[in-house]
Structure 1
Amino acid sequence: MQHAPLAGNAWRILFLLFLANLFNFFDRTIPAIIIEPIRLEWNLSDLQIGLIGTAFTIVYAIAGLPLGRMADTGARRKIMGWGLLAWSGLTAVNGLAWNFWSFLLIRMGVGIGEASYAPAANSLIGDLFPAHKRARAMGIFMLGLPLGLLLAFFTIGAMVQAFGSWRAPFFIAAVPGVLLALFMFFIKEPQRGAAETVQVAAVPVDKPLRKVLAIPTFGWLVLAGLTFNFATYACNSFMVPMLQRYFQLPMVQAATATGVIVGLTGLVGLTLGGWIADRLHQRSERGRLLFGAASMLIASLATGTALLLGRIEIGVFVAVFSLGWLFSYNFYTCVYTSIQDVVEPRLRATAMALFFAGLYLLGGGLGPVVVGWLSDHFAQAAMLAEGATQMTEAFKAVGLHSAMLLIPVALFLTMLSLLLAARCFSTDAAKMRQGLHDAVPA
């Protein structure tokens, strides 16, 4: 099989993209860690807590569509640089919020800034790395997710304790983001399609949204992303408060345990998973997606088991849930690279923007608010079952733990969607390659 050459500056740019991705997830994770002090200070319900995450993700999804189109037609380094400046600055402003609604509106502004990054970065990676190296490159880029989470969950609690306020982490987090934004403007971008084996036409694509949505594999991957993000955003939003309420852990220990579950596992899942996905892709075009589907099945079974075991030893819960979350990280290396394989280079940022719209608008947007609403519902049911007339923290603990069972259900639905995507992947990948050949002038 013929392979395109690797860009000379590919690994240096990838490292910069990885660092920015790390602080992207660090910044967006802060509210999930300090949410209990905020809840008690402003007397919030779990539904309101869920709305904070939902408002962020809905705005992120909507803003990503025009920003994705801009990344397909304009300078990606400028889009990423200005976006990084915007979300870092607004993260600092978040520390000045005076009530629930001000906090919510500022988080929505952060979402607009962060929406500029992922489509442009994914498009850039597709032009820097040829197909047989993309899963590993994407795995390194997506290491920013677990490392960002790990850094946040391991340090935010200590920051709150050191400064005596939940506001301090927002101010501290803004500094590295502003510095990284300056480096973004100096990236030397490759030509679009530089990593493909055939020349890519320079003319714009007619009806780009329709062409992307007409790819069957892409539709199934969007559905898989929707259910997967439902699970991940529900977990990231409520794992720390669930450990605090249900397992009676103090905030620092709950944050550290969550860091192990959603952060440490990603270091293994993304590095090893990317390597396995590339090897399987060389044996079979559908290998990545079938590997992703098998990983989702394991993730669903392990996370479901950990929750159904009830109030077990915290070490056992963390170990079993972490096993499932480790396999869940294979979603990124398998799905993101598969989109690159079925969408032509001139439409990749647009495709990623559409993909993220599905992920965040219906997946990440619904996950926190649905789990939050169910948590309040189950807490009320637990109170009535005991014949009590006053809501207590014990009832809220039971309610939240019960609502978290939606996570393994969503992961199982992700597995089904990936299996359906694998059925049409080879046909769609062949059509993409043939389209590139047909577009080359004679």
Structure 2
Amino acid sequence: MDRGAMASNGVNGHRTICTADGTCTAGSGIQGQFNLSNFEDGVLSSAFMVGLLLACPIFASLAKRANPFRLIGVGLSVWTLAVVGCGFSINFWSIAVCRMVVGVGEASFISLAAPFIDDNAPVEKKAGWLGIFYMCIPTGYAIGYLYGVLGFVIKPLQLNGFAPPETTNASILVDATSSSVKDDLQTKVAVSPEDFQEKSAENSSNSVLSEVLRFMKDMKALLVNMVFVVNVLGYVAYNFVMGAYSYWGPKAGYSIYQMKNADMIFGGITVACGIFGSLAGGYILDRLNNTIPNAFKLLSTAILIGAAFCFGSFCFKSMYGFLVLFSIGEVLAFAIQGPVNFICLHCVPPNLRPLSMAISTVSIHIFGDVPSSPLVGILQDHINNWRTTSLILTGFLVPAAIIWFIGVFLPSEDKSNEDCEKQVMPNRPTAGSALEVEKVQQTNKASAEA
């Protein structure tokens, strides 16, 4: 919603415009008040990526040992403060910094919400449920457009592949008990405060190193997964276009077709097409049998046909012809939300799903909509023709379709149901550790009886 409001003509506004005869029209909104170029204006739409990039890996890693619902709460609290800060900004840099911090909120949510939905959705409706969730993105954008016209009680969330807090505590108890049995004589020796502090510092250092090594190992597992890589590459090309559409759309529509209510029109199109397209994409994938190859087929087909409709829409001189074709193209474009995230969740083991979603989101932003908004702004500054700029931008949907089509032929398997007990998890007791617990308990009992 915040990005939709930023992109709306009511909030974003325009610079001071002067004609050849010296007549000037005062600027309005953020762009007019701070006298921003189109490039600087585009930077504001992408600045949230800084917080997202820094916070995503952190939240994905913390999800292994902290309550994800609380992590989401922390992130959204930071987001709220950052949005308030945007409202009190006094210049370009102050609002840019606040926009950077806004990304922390999205980072906390994207890594954890989708795995939770995938855990609880019926097998035959997983893609549909994901489609409903991702439907909220275009809906939020649209509400932002429309808004711009006006100027610890619940049970902790538990993800598959991660040990619950009580299991973590139990494993710590196992380690402590085992150590006490094996080193019984050593525990009776007094330890000086200096030795204790030195040992604590060493343990802390080892813990940090262990977390870094574990993160690097997880990253390597993602980067050698060709299904994941191809899916994200296609998603990057797609988001490059959609990010610029969402930010520059109202302004381009106002310029090309003299839309008096561009925010209202684009908001309505985004709501209707986003809801229908996202739901339809997930439903169709479920009907086709929700497998990774079928998801790739749906992605490549939908985006190729959608690109043709969007490209054709900008060739129309009539606003009504544009709206009809562009709406059809938007429905097809939004239909990919469920399938593309279904692949991200099901091409990796359960314990890697938060990191998979985090890296996917970081990638599509840092290589997709983050550079696209400023680059489109630069292009428009040079050619000063929104129709040509829009046609060039739409052409980038074709590489997305080609990349996803390649994914159809990749060997793939659904790893979401892999036995998590076979995976090496931090502080997660295995069958061997369970036997050790039993032996330790028997030893302690025998010692007590003696």
Q: TM-score range, shorter-chain basis?
A: 0.7 to 0.9
CA distance in 1, matches of 2:224, 2:65: 21
CA distance in 2, matches of 1:133, 1:249: 40
Larger Rg: 2
Instruction: Tell me, yes or no, if the aligned pair for 1:77 and 1:187 is still in contact at 8 Å.
Output: no
CA drift at 1:293: 0.8
Tell me the equivalent position of 1:35. 12
Instruction: Tell me, yes or no, if the aligned pair for 2:47 and 2:99 is still in contact at 8 Å.
Output: yes
Tell me the equivalent position of 1:267. 275
CA drift at 1:65: 2.1
Tell me the equivalent position of 2:102. 110
Tell me the equivalent position of 1:47. 39
CA drift at 1:286: 1.5
Tell me the equivalent position of 2:229. 219
Tell me the equivalent position of 2:444. none
CA drift at 1:243: 1.8
CA distance in 1, matches of 2:32, 2:157: 48
Which of 148, 160, 173 is residue 192 of structure 1 equivalent to? 160
Tell me the equivalent position of 2:412. 428
The answer as to 2:336 corresponding to 1:331 is: yes
Tell me the equivalent position of 1:141. 133
Structure 2: any 5+ residue segments left out of the alignment? Answer: 14-28, 163-169, 172-210, 424-429, 433-450
Which of 356, 359, 373 is residue 378 of structure 2 equivalent to? 373
State the AA in 1 paired with 2:372.
G
CA distance in 2, matches of 1:154, 1:122: 27
CA distance in 2, matches of 1:343, 1:118: 16
The answer as to 2:308 corresponding to 1:301 is: yes
The answer as to 2:390 corresponding to 1:415 is: no
CA drift at 1:436: 5.3
Deviations 1:35-72 (A, max 9, x none): 12222222221111111122223432342222222224
Tell me the equivalent position of 1:13. none
Instruction: Tell me, yes or no, if the aligned pair for 1:128 and 1:190 is still in contact at 8 Å.
Output: no
Deviations 1:365-396 (A, max 9, x none): 111011111111112xxxxxxxxxxxxxxxxx
Q: 1:227 to 1:62 in 2, by over 3 A?
A: farther
Tell me the equivalent position of 2:264. 256
Tell me the equivalent position of 1:389. none
The answer as to 2:84 corresponding to 1:92 is: yes
Tell me the equivalent position of 1:401. 387
State the AA in 1 paired with 2:306.
A
CA distance in 2, matches of 1:353, 1:315: 39
Which of 238, 245, 259 is residue 228 of structure 1 equivalent to? 238
CA drift at 1:416: 1.1
TM-score, structure 2 as length reference = 0.74
State the AA in 2 paired with 1:83.
G
Instruction: Tell me, yes or no, if the aligned pair for 1:231 and 1:406 is still in contact at 8 Å.
Output: no
CA distance in 1, matches of 2:153, 2:61: 19
1 or 2, which has the higher helix percentage?
1
CA drift at 1:353: 0.9
Instruction: Tell me, yes or no, if the aligned pair for 2:348 and 2:356 is still in contact at 8 Å.
Output: yes
**DSSP-derived class of the 1:97 partner:** coil
Tell me the equivalent position of 2:71. 79
Instruction: Tell me, yes or no, if the aligned pair for 1:343 and 1:351 is still in contact at 8 Å.
Output: yes
CA drift at 1:430: 5.2
Instruction: Tell me, yes or no, if the aligned pair for 2:232 and 2:364 is still in contact at 8 Å.
Output: yes
**DSSP-derived class of the 2:376 partner:** helix
The answer as to 2:57 corresponding to 1:57 is: no
TM-score, structure 1 as length reference = 0.76
Instruction: Tell me, yes or no, if the aligned pair for 2:85 and 2:95 is still in contact at 8 Å.
Output: no
CA drift at 1:76: 0.8
- Greater Cα offset, 361-370 or 37-46: 37-46
Q: 1:365 to 1:285 in 2, by over 3 A?
A: closer
Instruction: Tell me, yes or no, if the aligned pair for 1:234 and 1:404 is still in contact at 8 Å.
Output: no
State the AA in 2 paired with 1:75.
N
State the AA in 2 paired with 1:144.
C
Identity over aligned pairs, percent: 23
**DSSP-derived class of the 1:423 partner:** coil
The answer as to 2:365 corresponding to 1:360 is: yes
State the AA in 2 paired with 1:104.
A
